[in-house]
Amino acid sequence: MKEFCLDCWNKLTGSEYNPLCFLFSEEPDFCEECGEWKPVIVCFKRRCRIVEWFHEKFSDFSR
């Protein structure tokens, strides 16, 4: 699995995720996009995935 820092993840996905949405590695790891040693994303926190799903599912109703 590829490992990305938050800045690279946001750049690659065109999003503006908050660091509070993820669990990060405890020690710096190699980001495969920028090539720097930084904390990388391990996974989404469960609550943020639910919020993302909700926004995606119901964003069409607000128009």
User: What pLDDT, on a 0 to 100 scale, did the predictor assign at position 62?
Assistant: 47
User: What pLDDT, on a 0 to 100 scale, did the predictor assign at position 45?
Assistant: 84
Residue that is written with structure tokens 């995720």 in the block: 17
User: What pLDDT, on a 0 to 100 scale, did the predictor assign at position 2?
Assistant: 87
Task: Count the residues in the chain.
Answer: 63
DSSP assignment of the chain: -----HHHHHHHHT----GGGEEE-SS-EE-TTT--EE--EEEE-HHHHHHHHHHHHHGGGG-
Amino acid (one-letter) located at 11: K
Extract the residue ranges of the chain whose pLDDT is less than 50.
Answer: 62-63
User: What pLDDT, on a 0 to 100 scale, did the predictor assign at position 21?
Assistant: 87
